A and B are shown apart, each in its own frame.
Chain A
Amino acid sequence: MRPFALEMADTPAAATNYATQSAGTYLAGGTVLLDLMKLDVIEPQTLVDINALADTYGAIEADDDGITLGALVRMAEAERHPAIRRDYPVIRDALWQAASPQLRNMASLGGNVLQRTRCSYFRDVSWPECNKRAPGSGCAAIGGNNRRLAVLGVSDHCIASYPGDFANALVALGAEVGLRSADGSERRVPFEDLHRLPGDTPEMETNLVPGELITAFHVPAGPWTRRSLYRKVRDRTSYDFALASAVVALHLEDGVVAAARIGLGGVAATPWRAHEAEAALTGRPLDEAAAEHAAEAAFAGAVTHGGNDFKPELGRRTLVRALLEAAAMEVLP
C-alpha cells in the first residue's frame, strides 16, 4: 500500500469535485478497493469517502413502476428489504449468496457492481503480464491457470471473469443506473451499457466518465419479477465466487413463456444478459427440451482456454436447472 490522501465528501457536489480535481477514487465499503491497494494492484493518489452521502443515496424506494436502490445501500440492507423479498426474489438470492455476512454489511451496491476480477494474474503484481493491470503486457491467464475465468465476452487480450452476483440480476431485469457527473448533471443509462467488453482495451472496464458517481439502480417492474431466482453453482457451499450462475425471471401464461429475462454469472467478462436464450424461450412451453435449447443458445459463443473447458457445459446445466426451478416456483398472485 502506498500513501494516499483521504477526502471526506459531505455533499454530492463535493464528492464529484474531489474526484474530478484530484483524480480521486470513490470509497464506499472499501471491500475491494482497500484489498487491491494492499496488494499494490492499484495506487490511487486520493480516496474520496462518500459514506456521508448515505442520506442522499442510501434509500430503497418501491412503487408500481419498479424499485430504486440507492448506490450507498449496503448489500445486507437490500437483502432484508421486504419489497425485494416479496417482489424481486432474484435480487435477494443474488445478494445473500455473495461473500460473507461481514462483507455484505460493509459493501455498498454501487461498489459491488464495480467489483474487479479475481483473476490471479491481475491480483498479483509480481506477474509481469496482465493487460488489464499493465496495458500491452500480455495475458498470463491465457495458457495459465484459468479454471475460474470467463468463456463469454472474452478477447485475445483478456479472459478475466466478472465475479459478482447482484449485477447479473440487474442486467437481466433491464435495470438502469443513475449517474451524477462533475457538473452536477444527472443521467440514466441502461445497466447493460455500464460495463465494457475487454476487446483490446481490457483496462477500461466501464463507460463511466472521470468523476462520474453511481447514485442509484432503477429496476423496472414486470410480470416476471416475482417468478425469479438466482442459481449459483460453486465449489464451496458458502463464501465462494460462482463457477457458473444463472438469473432467471419468467412470465408464464398457461405454461408458455410470455417473457423471459436471463442473466449469467461466473462465466462472462461482464455482467451478462443472455438475449439469445431469452429469444429461444419466448412463446414456447417451458419444458426440459426448451430449457436445453435456450442454454445451447446462451453458450453458442463460448471460448475456452483449457482450465475452464468445463464451463460452457456447467453453465448450460446451471441455466437449465434455474429455468426449471423458476417454472416450478410457487408465486404470489
Chain B
Amino acid sequence: MTIQGPIRPQPFSRIGKPTPRIDGAAKVTGRALYPSDESVPHAAHAFLVTSPIARGRVAGFDLGDARAVPGFLDFLCHENVGGQAKPPKQMAGGETTTTMESDRIWHDGQIIGVVLADSFEAAREAAFKVRIQTEAEPPSATFGSAGTTEEQREDEQKEDFAVGDAEMALAAAPVMLDAWYETPTQHHNAIELFTTTCAWNGRQLTIWEPSQFVYGLRGNVAQQLGIEPADIRVVSKFVGGAFGSKGGATARTAWIAIAARRLGRPVKLVATRDQGFTIATYRAETRHHLRLGANGEGRLTAVSHEGWEVTSRPSFYNVSGTETTARMYAAPNILTRVAVVHADRNTPGFMRAPPEQPYMFPLECAMDELAARLGIDPIELRRRNEPARDPVTGLAFSGRHLMTCFDRGAAEFGWNRRNAQPASMRDGDWLVGLGCAASTYTANIAASTARVTLRPDGQAQVRLAGHDIGTGAYTVVAITAADRLGLPVGQVTVEMGDTEYPPAALAAGSSHTASITHAVVRACDALLAQIATAATASNAGAFAGREPATLSLRDGHLVAPDDSSESLADAVGRISAGAVEAYAENVPDGMPADAIGKLYQGQLPILRGQKRVDMTAYSFGAQFVEVRIHARTREIRVPRMLGAFSAGTILNPTTARSQLMGGMIWGLGSALLEKTEIDQRAARYTNDNIAEYHIAVNADVRRVDVMMLPEPDGAVNPLGIKGIGELGIVGVNAAVANAVFHATGQRVRRLPIRIEDLL
C-alpha cells in the first residue's frame, strides 16, 4: 500500500538522542556474519585469473600444470562459458567493459578466467599455474597517453551550465584567477574484500555478497543470466566497508553463479586485494581548469569550471561535480564543461562523495588563492559571495547555512589566531599553517518500502532490504521505529540486507537514512492506524467511538490527547494475540508514481537535491585544518581538524559523529597519501595493495572535532533529513592544500601533496 500525503507531525522522542549501535556487540564479538562468512555446505572455491596486459586479446590458456593440482575441478573462460552471461548494466555511463564474454581485453586485471577447486589453496595454486597466452596491443594509460580519445560529456544525466557570458566577464574582470588542478586515481580499499558465494536449489539461486543495493544486484544478475528476479535471493546482512564500490553489480557475480551451476555445488569467491583494484570500480583521475573573475572587493563576476575525467573505452562514466561548483557562490556569469577521456582502463564508479570530492578541490583552492591575492580573509571572501538563491536555476535553497558553519567552526577552531601572512607561523622546527574550505553535498532521497510488526508484549520488528554498510543504518531504523511506536529502542529488532524483505533503495549518495526512515515512519503510522481504528471501532475500551486519527503511541501505550490510555497488550491484542503488521511505501514528493515498481525491479528511483523543481537541496559544512610541516625535511602532519556541519535532522549523534569523522579522516588521507600509481607504459596499477596504497593510520590522525549544528529543515522532506555520508570528506583536500600554502607559501594544485612537492 502506498500511503501518500503528509506524514503526521509528531515531536521526536528518540530521534536525535545518542544511541549505541544495536549491532555493535555482534560486530565486536564476531557474531556478525559478513557474506563470505556464510557457511555453505560442500562449497567449491573460486580463484580469478586476470589479464596481465591492458589491451589486446586472449589467445589461449595452457592448463596442463593447473589441472594437475590435487583438488582442481574446472576452469571457466570465454571459450566454454562466454555466451552464458551478459555484462552487468551500469548505473551510469552506459556500456562497460566485458570480461569473459569474449577474448577481448579492455584493461589490466580484467577477469579472463575462473579456477574452481575443492579448497581455496588449491584454487590459488592452480590459478598461479594457468599459463596465459595473449596478443597484446599498445595500451593508453591516462591523460596525455598516446591513443586516448576525448569527448564532451553528453547532457544525459548531468548538466553543463552557461549563465550570462563568462568569457566576456572574465576578460573584463579586475582580478582573475586562472589555474589548473589535478586529483589522482583512487581506490576504495574497504577492508572487506569483494566476495561472492552462490548456491543453486533447483531454479532458485542464492547469492551472498556484500552489497549497497541487494534488489539492484538481484535485478542485474537476473538480466545477465536471463532468469527471473524472483528466482534470485541476495543476502548481505553486514558490509565491511563499501564507499560506493559495492553499489553496482560487477561482472564476477554472474560468473560465480554459472560456476556453481556447472559444478552442481555452491561456489565461494574471495577475490584478492590486488584483484579488487581491477574487478570493481574506482575514482578516476581528474583535471580541472578553473577561472574566477572578481572585482576589487572580492565579489565574483564569473566562475568557469572545466573538468576532464578518465574512463574506460566503452563507458562515458563521469561525476561532473560542476553541477555543484556552479551553485556554490553568487556569480552572474557561470560556465561549466566536462569532458571524458577514454583510456584502456577499467570503468570507474561511485566513490565517497563522487562528484564533490574531486570537483570542490579546485574551487575551494581557487577561492583561497583569490582571497590571498585580494588580501581578504578566505571566510570573508565566501561571505561576500554567499548567494541568496541557486545561481543557476534561481530556486530557493532548502536551508543554506554555510556561513553559520564557517562562523561557528572558526570560533571553535581559533581561526582568529591565524596570521594571514603565508609562512608566518612557526613552532620550533615546524612551520604551522591553518586552512579552511567549504563542504557541501546534495540532499537526496529515494523511494523505499518497509514492513513493521508489533506484538502485544511491545516487541516490534522492522524488516526492509536496507543496507548497513557500517554507517549505523540498523540503529537509525530502530530509533525511527521506536520513536514512532513509542517504545524503547531495545524493544525494536531490525532485519535488513535480504531480498526476502521489502525493497529499499541503494545505500549511497547520502540518501539511505532519509529514504528508509520515511518508509519506516509510514509503516509505523499504518500500524498505528490499524490499532487506532480497532480501538475506536470496538464497543469496549477507553477509545470506543473516538476519532482514530487523534490517537498516538507513547511509552508503550495507545494514548489520546486527554492522556487517557490503553496498554499495548490490550490495543494490539484486540486485533491479534500474535502480531499486527503493516507494510508501507514512501514515494518522495516530486517523484513519478511508478517509482516503487522500478524499485522492485532493481532500479533506483532517486530525487537528487540539485534536480528538484521546487528547491535546491544541499547540506553544508566548513572544514578547518592545521598542518605542521618540518622546516627541513618537509613531512606534512595534521595535528588538528575541525568540521562544522549543517545537515538537517541528525537521527543518531553517536553514529553521525563517527561517520562525519570518518569522512574527514578519509579527506586527510586523500589529500596527503592516497594515490593509485599507474605504470604509464603498460597502463597497469602498480601499488595495488594496502602496504603501498597508503591510507591514514592512527598516528596520522590526532585531534578531530565534529560539530553538528542544529538545522530544522521541514522543506527538504518531512523528517528534515539531508544526509551526512559524503559531507565529512568534501573540502578536506582543499582545506589541507590551503593550510599547506599558509604554512609555506607554496601552492600545490595536484593531489596528493607529498614531501617532494615542498622540497
Contact = CB atoms under 8 A, between A and B. Distances in A.
A120 B687 contact: yes
B640 interface: no
B697 A126 contact: no
Contacts of B637: 237
Nearest to B672: A235
B697 A314 contact: no
A1 interface: yes
B633 A118 contact: no
B448 to A, nearest CB: 40
A2 B125 contact: yes
Contact of A236 (B52, B679, B687, B696): B696
Given A143-B681, A235-B754, A238-B697, A1 B687 contact: no
Given A40-B128, A118-B692, A317-B759, A239 B697 contact: yes
A275 to B, nearest CB: 23
A309 B759 CA distance: 11
A318 B633 contact: yes
Nearest to A322: B633
Contacts of A235: 672-673, 694, 754-755
A175 interface: no
A239 B673 CA distance: 13
For B673, B687, B688, B755, which residue has the most chain A Cβ atoms within 10 angstroms? B755
Contact of A126 (B52, B125, B673, B699): B52
B135 to A, nearest CB: 15
B677 interface: yes
Contacts of B681: 143-144
A3 B71 CA distance: 13
B121 interface: yes
Contacts of A120: 677, 686-687, 692
Contacts of B128: 2, 40, 125
Contacts of B632: 317, 320-321
Interface string A251-286: 000000000000000000000000000000000000
Interface in A128-150: 140, 143-145, 147-148
Interface in A1-31: 1-3
B759 A124 contact: no
B677 A314 contact: no
Interface of B is mostly: loop
Interface in B696-738: 696-700
A144 B700 contact: no
Interface in B624-677: 630, 632-635, 637, 672-673, 677
A61 B128 CA distance: 45
B291 interface: no
B74 interface: no
A233 interface: yes
A20 B698 CA distance: 44
B274 interface: yes
Contact of B699 (A3, A145, A238, A321): A238
B163 to A, nearest CB: 41
A90 interface: no
Interface string A223-255: 000000001011111111001100000000000
A240 B630 CA distance: 18
Interface of A is mostly: loop
Contact of B679 (A2, A125, A145): A145
Interface residues of A, number: 36
Contacts of A236: 673, 694, 696-697, 699-700
A306 to B, nearest CB: 10
Contacts of A143: 681
Nearest to A325: B429
A177 B697 CA distance: 34
A124 B694 contact: no
A321 B633 contact: yes
Contacts of B633: 231, 233, 244, 314, 317-318, 321
A264 to B, nearest CB: 14
Contacts of A2: 125, 128
B692 to A, nearest CB: 7
Contacts of B630: 321
B756 interface: yes
B691 interface: yes
A121 interface: yes
A5 to B, nearest CB: 15
A326 B403 CA distance: 48
Contacts of A309: 756
A170 B11 CA distance: 69
For B124, B125, B673, B691, which residue has the most chain A Cβ atoms within 10 angstroms? B691
B270 to A, nearest CB: 13
A298 to B, nearest CB: 15
Given A235-B672, A314-B633, A317-B633, A1 B700 contact: no
Contacts of B698: 238
Given A40-B128, A124-B686, A321-B632, A240 B694 contact: yes
A313 interface: yes
A242 B759 CA distance: 16
B125 A145 contact: no
Interface string B733-759: 000000000000000000000111001
A149 to B, nearest CB: 11
Nearest to A238: B699
A310 B755 CA distance: 9
Contact of B686 (A3, A144, A233, A244): A144
B700 A314 contact: no
A238 B700 contact: yes
A231 B429 CA distance: 14
Interface string B420-435: 0000000000000000
Contacts of B52: 126-127
B691 A118 contact: yes
B686 A313 contact: no
Interface string A27-42: 0000000000000100
A318 B698 CA distance: 24
Contacts of B125: 1-3
B672 A145 contact: no
A295 B681 CA distance: 35
Interface string B551-590: 0000000000000000000000000000000000000000
Nearest to A237: B699
Contacts of A317: 632-634, 759
For B52, B630, B756, which residue has the most chain A Cβ atoms within 10 angstroms? B756
A290 B688 CA distance: 42
A237 B669 CA distance: 12
A184 B719 CA distance: 79
Contacts of A118: 691-692
A317 B758 CA distance: 12
A1 to B, nearest CB: 6
Contacts of A231: 633
B700 A145 contact: no
Contacts of B759: 310, 313-314, 317
A53 B699 CA distance: 35
A233 B755 contact: yes
Contacts of B697: 236-240
Contact of A145 (B124, B686, B754, B756): B686
B274 A233 contact: no
Contacts of B634: 314, 317
27 contacts: A1-B121, A1-B124, A1-B125, A2-B128, A120-B692, A124-B274, A126-B52, A140-B679, A144-B686, A145-B679, A147-B677, A236-B673, A236-B694, A236-B697, A236-B699, A237-B697, A237-B699, A238-B698, A238-B699, A239-B699, A240-B694, A244-B633, A309-B756, A317-B632, A317-B759, A321-B632, A321-B633
Given A236-B694, A318-B633, 11 more contacts: A2-B125, A127-B52, A143-B681, A144-B679, A238-B698, A244-B633, A309-B756, A314-B755, A317-B632, A317-B633, A317-B634
Rank and list the top 9 A-B pairs by shortest CB-CB distance, nearest first. Answer: A310-B756, A238-B699, A237-B699, A126-B52, A120-B686, A145-B686, A145-B677, A237-B700, A40-B128
